[in-house]
Amino acid sequence: MNNRILISLLATMLLTVGCGSGEAIKIFDAAPPGAVTPPPSPETGGEEPDHVVTVPPVLNPDGSGGTVPPVTNPDGSGGANPPNPPPLDPAPPLTVPPVVVIPPSVGIPPIVADDSIAKAMISGDASGLDAKAKLTLLQQAQNIALDVRNFQTSTLSKILQKNGADLSQALTFSNSSISVSLQNSTSGMSFLSADNGNGMAALTQVGAGRGMAYGADVLGWMAGTSAQQQHLPLFTRAFTWLINGDPDLALPTSIKFTTAGYNANNVRALLTRLGSAGAEQKCDLPDVNNTCWQNADLLVFGGDTQDTAGLTAQVQKYLAAGKAVIYMAPNWIESSGGRKVASAMGMELGGYPGNYFQGATGLTISASRTSVDSLARADKMGTLIVTIQKLMDDKLDWDFKADASPTNPISQIHNELAALHGKGINLFQLPTMDLHKKLVLWADLWRPSIDKYGKMPPEQRATATDFLRAYASDSWVVFNRSKTSIAPLGYGDFMPKEAQNIAVSADWEDLDVTIAQGGGITAIGRAAIPGKTVTIQILDAAGGNLGLQSGYARSYGNPLSDGKKYAHPRRPISFNVPIAAAKDNVFVTPFGGPLYLNYNGMSGGSVVKLRVKGTAKYGHFDFTKNMSQTEIDAASAAIKSKTFGWQTNKFVGGEVHQTNAYALSVIGNTEPKDYVLNDLRARLFDSNHIANGYSNMPMAAAVSGLCADLSWTCDGAMHRAPGVQHFIGWIAACGWLCSGNPSDGFTGVASGWGWWHELGHNTVQRVHHIVPPGTAGCVVECDNNILSSASALRQYGLDNKLDWNGDRIDHKGLYQFIVDSRATGKTGEAQRLDMQNKLWNGGQNAMRAVHFQLGFLYTKYRRGMAVPTPDASLEYLTMLTKGDRLVSKDWTVANAAKYGMGRYTTNAITNHDLLYVLSSKIIGKDMRTYFAAYGLPLDQKSLDSIADLKLDIAPLTFYALAPGKGNQLATGTWLDIEAATPAYPF
């Protein structure tokens, strides 16, 4: 009790810093997040052996899950998420916590008032605190948590019960509703949540004022007599608390009210039903200059509330003056004004499209719900209080593998800090959230003591104290400030200790950052060094919204379960921090890492101009612009120095991010610049881009000439690479290599089937995806491997010593299907259908041989070559994919014939028909007999369109290659199969 009194006195003395319960429950004026688009679906699909796809966890608005907060505009309004950002850490599963019992004393001295802590709470700089402050900060944080918990539970228990008996909490929303949750665990009370945890209503007290929000118009329901009437007793008690501060007091006989964007008749009817006379006061509440609000007791906002610039602050002024504030969401549709009202009350409304896709358990509170259940659900502090006690214990005895529950509240605070970063809010510039400030400052003080990365298995009781303190210190980080602390021995496999000594720029440096697509993430070519402040200015945002972060990965391991003895910080990748124009944006990370722009609202091909200071150069190659030899040599030297933890590469259509150790493992004895230029660029990205006909690759003379002959536009914006494929060599999200964007693996990135395959996922085109009706077809994991085989073929053409994966294309198998189909004695359509069912339900390696046989035929008939070569065969794929895009983007009825589609009135065509008409144009022969031989059905319009071109029908031939020698084209031989099927020569 003495400590409580001291804290209260300290809160009175330190006007700018709240240490007691009063400050802890106030909410802050957060910039409104705006409309949030649903997170895009991750790339999925099965893979090779040990290559399994998992979808990263996505957190829900109530704190049991959610997405990484979106990039916001400089003015605080909303933005959109880039593709597949790294997930936040899952919050603990919903369980009823035990009654909090503080363990016996561990010799903690009484709290001592410390002016240096007060200063640090404002500056966010813990460097002026001494070692004794570690314990003081934890004690103060624990007392705040106790006060918040006592207020929340005592208030809710009074509302949920009447005369000692539980009131019914049964309630059902429709899908035309939205979730309501708290901005953070101290900003209010989770009043009602659905059976699956989805927030339905919240309450708050801000100074003398109180607030209530529902995710549906429950006030309107209670004003009537038909909808959800079982909820009226509970609603009445919550409403009475809102007006009186005590649910047991009688409502005033008359209540003056005013509304904004809400039907006043509903309020009047409710008050009449509850026994009070409603006296409406006409007032424009969103107008920041109005004074009429002072005449009302109750302010009710709805979804039609006008969105004004100062609305959040205005509503907070109403609350501070003791007004009762209500927000009732009308439906799931975005209300920017309503969102600001909720924000003023310390609450968050769910993102687009609200509860539209929620299942029944996310819309319903079961009739069996008890007050004990709801109090447990609402309790955000109980487990945190216990965890803080464990953090104080220098001799903690715990097995975190057997019971990881003490880490759950650490993740809760971690996620709340992430939400602040996503809105561009610096925790230490807020007048509230003292609990979070004290925990972050404690983490700063403890971090220099971390010296056991890679030596703390979660089950090892001897290092339990170190484990828990490292876990908390790693989690409670603020990046959008100027000071932090570091672990002097480095960060395991993420960043070596030597990185701390890398010099950073003292003067401003201008950077041009190439933007490849509308939204995403891209390396800027500079690094943040652990503990050193980065300052960044936006010179030209190129019309988009920008954020900054250090590191990029979708998976960063889990010290609780990955078996690596806590190999590196639990989340060394920073949160995304929105940055604004016309100001110095500061950033600092304890962990260091490459710096990235997180962007949206852009145009592909634009250039963002930045001015930076406090950054370092490292092993980064950027071939989206010209690199000087000096820059190339410097990047190579940085890799070999082993002083920085990461190596990155930026190409047209792709980026590679890998640990420096993994980079060196694939570089081997070669020079780093040779690896980047001749392997990553030439054999990984260039090969894929040649096969896909992208405009960043110069066209072969034969391709350029054929484009001119066919009057095809084969360069320019239509043929830009469609997006950026990210590769991460560090930790795989699944298996050994895991697909998606980013694609990641437990290995360095280099040319080879695995990474060719992953790049193919992001660049596959419809002409690769062949699925005849009623067959399995060449779909995901087959179609992208056409590009893998193309890369393998080109690699052999570049260096015939590198014959990789020639066994993954089965020409002999394709030929055998033809032989077997002819052996049935069937003819015509019956024979084609038999071949269709054999080949397109068979092995994928044989299916993929079709595209390469067509490529060999291109070399024979268009190029006049006796023996196909890798480069000439790939020219066919280049032309095919260019034609695919032209049909999609350039096709008109007037020019349809030049794409072999003269009989078509629209560009709607099946994939296999498109393959036929384009192949006929490219090869210069009518390929109908081949498509029949391959079992592919053709539409009469495509047959007639090619017939109109008066092309000769190509005689049937087959280029035979030995099994396993799919890349060694010079070893093959042509077979005439027009009238017979000779024995396969290999």
CA–CA dist 535, 579 (Å, integer): 10
Higher per-residue confidence, 445 vs 75: 445
Query: How many other β-carbons are positioned within 10 Å of the β-carbon of residue 539?
Result: 12
Helix axes 382-392, 133-160, angle to 10 degrees: 160
Same domain, 627 and 670: yes
Same domain, 390 and 469: yes
Structural contact between residues 210 and 203, judged by C-beta atoms closer than 8 angstroms: yes
pLDDT the model gives residue 396 = 98
CA distances from 2 to 5, 9, 144, 439 (A): 5, 11, 14, 22
Rounded average pLDDT over 364-386: 96
pLDDT the model gives residue 384 = 98
pLDDT at residue 110 tops 80: no
pLDDT the model gives residue 36 = 29
pLDDT the model gives residue 113 = 54
- In the chain, how many domains are there? 4
- Please, which pLDDT band fits residue 972 given cuts at 50, 70 and 90? very high
In a domain, 957, yes or no: yes
pLDDT the model gives residue 971 = 97
Torsion region of 144: left, alpha or beta (phi above 0 gives left; psi -120 to 50 gives alpha) = alpha
In a domain, 133, yes or no: yes
What sign does the dihedral 186-412-91-523 (CA atoms) show?
A: positive
* Distance between start and end Cα atoms, the chain: 90
In a domain, 909, yes or no: yes
DSSP state of 458: T
Structural contact between residues 79 and 577, judged by C-beta atoms closer than 8 angstroms: no
In a domain, 483, yes or no: no
**Lowest mean pLDDT, pick from 95-109, 246-260, 513-527, 622-636:** 95-109
Same domain, 673 and 801: no
pLDDT at residue 50 tops 80: no
Write the DSSP assignment of 471-482 as a string of letters: HHHHHS---SSS
- Please, which pLDDT band fits residue 905 given cuts at 50, 70 and 90? very high
Rounded average pLDDT over 625-630: 92
pLDDT at residue 12 tops 50: no
Last residue of a domain, one of 315, 336, 368: 368
pLDDT at residue 29 tops 70: no
pLDDT at residue 19 tops 90: no
Give me 562's structure tokens: 């990955």
pLDDT the model gives residue 853 = 98
pLDDT at residue 49 tops 60: no
pLDDT tens column, 567-606:
999 999 999 999 999 999 999 999 999 999 999 999 988 9
Q: Convert 897-940 into a string of H (helix), E (strand) and C (coil).
A: HHHCCCCCCCCCCCHHHHHHHHHHHHHCCECHHHHHHCCCCCCH
Whether the link from the prior residue into 74 is cis, omega within 30° of 0, is no
Write the DSSP assignment of 89-150 as a string of letters: PPPPP---PPPP-PPPP-SPPPP---HHHHHHHHH--GGG--TTHHHHHHHHHHHHHHHHHH
- Please, which pLDDT band fits residue 801 given cuts at 50, 70 and 90? confident
Helices (H), 652-752: 660-667, 672-674, 686-691, 701-710
DSSP helix/strand/coil, 270: helix
pLDDT the model gives residue 577 = 98
pLDDT at residue 91 tops 80: no
CA distances from 736 to 48, 51, 320, 730, 792 (A): 10, 6, 55, 10, 21
- Please, which pLDDT band fits residue 270 given cuts at 50, 70 and 90? very high
pLDDT tens column, 132-156:
999 999 999 999 999 999 999 999 9
Rounded average pLDDT over 347-366: 96
Structural contact between residues 952 and 972, judged by C-beta atoms closer than 8 angstroms: no
Same domain, 962 and 888: yes
Higher per-residue confidence, 24 vs 791: 791
Query: How many other β-carbons are positioned within 10 Å of the β-carbon of residue 714?
Result: 21
pLDDT at residue 186 tops 50: yes
DSSP state of 234: H
pLDDT the model gives residue 114 = 66
Structural contact between residues 498 and 594, judged by C-beta atoms closer than 8 angstroms: no
Query: How many other β-carbons are positioned within 10 Å of the β-carbon of residue 822?
Result: 17
pLDDT the model gives residue 909 = 98
- Please, which pLDDT band fits residue 71 given cuts at 50, 70 and 90? very low
Last residue of a domain, one of 368, 388, 413: 368
What sign does the dihedral 637-639-643-649 (CA atoms) show?
A: positive
Instruction: Report phi then psi at 7, rounded to 5.
Output: -60, -45
In a domain, 349, yes or no: yes
Same domain, 355 and 392: no
CA–CA dist 69, 34 (Å, integer): 11
Rounded average pLDDT over 821-842: 97
pLDDT the model gives residue 22 = 30
pLDDT tens column, 151-178:
999 999 999 999 999 999 999 999 999 9
Q: In what order do the strands lie in the sheet with 509-514?
A: 509-514, 607-613, 534-540, 585-587
Same domain, 783 and 888: yes
Instruction: Report phi then psi at 421, rounded to 5.
Output: -60, -40
Residue from 908, 904, 905, 906 nearest 942 by CA: 904
Rounded average pLDDT over 116-128: 97
pLDDT at residue 772 tops 90: yes
Q: Which domain holds residue 353?
A: 170-368
pLDDT the model gives residue 872 = 98
pLDDT the model gives residue 721 = 86
Same domain, 440 and 517: no
Among residues of the chain, what percentage have pLDDT more than 90?
86
Task: Tell how far CA 423 is from the center of its chain.
Answer: 15
pLDDT at residue 77 tops 90: no
Rounded average pLDDT over 520-546: 98
Higher per-residue confidence, 111 vs 182: 182
For residue 432, count CB atoms less than 10 angstroms from its CB and return exposed for 0-12, middle for 13-18, buried for 19 or more: buried
**Mode of pairing for the β-strands spanning 298-302 and 254-260:** parallel
CA–CA dist 440, 283 (Å, integer): 43
Same domain, 910 and 872: yes
pLDDT at residue 14 tops 50: no
pLDDT the model gives residue 605 = 86
Query: Within 13 Å, how many C-alpha atoms sit on residue 624's CB side?
Result: 27
CA–CA dist 381, 147 (Å, integer): 9
What sign does the dihedral 350-354-358-361 (CA atoms) show?
A: positive
In a domain, 10, yes or no: yes
Specify the DSSP element, H or E, that contains 390: helix 382-392
Rounded average pLDDT over 438-462: 98
pLDDT tens column, 708-763:
999 999 999 899 988 899 999 999 999 999 988 999 999 999 999 999 999 998 89
pLDDT at residue 483 tops 70: yes
Torsion region of 628: left, alpha or beta (phi above 0 gives left; psi -120 to 50 gives alpha) = beta
Rounded average pLDDT over 216-244: 97
pLDDT the model gives residue 226 = 93
pLDDT the model gives residue 207 = 85
In a domain, 493, yes or no: no
CA–CA dist 404, 392 (Å, integer): 17
For residue 613, count CB atoms less than 10 angstroms from its CB and return exposed for 0-12, middle for 13-18, buried for 19 or more: middle
DSSP state of 698: P
Structural contact between residues 767 and 928, judged by C-beta atoms closer than 8 angstroms: no
Last residue of a domain, one of 629, 656, 691: 691
pLDDT the model gives residue 52 = 31
CA–CA dist 323, 256 (Å, integer): 11
Same domain, 224 and 156: no
Same domain, 430 and 290: no
Same domain, 180 and 301: yes
pLDDT the model gives residue 980 = 94
Identify each DSSP E strand in 770-916 by its residue range.
Answer: none
- Average pLDDT over the chain reads 89
- Please, which pLDDT band fits residue 652 given cuts at 50, 70 and 90? confident
pLDDT the model gives residue 17 = 30
pLDDT tens column, 913-946:
999 999 999 999 999 999 999 999 999 999 999 9
In a domain, 46, yes or no: no
Same domain, 156 and 176: no
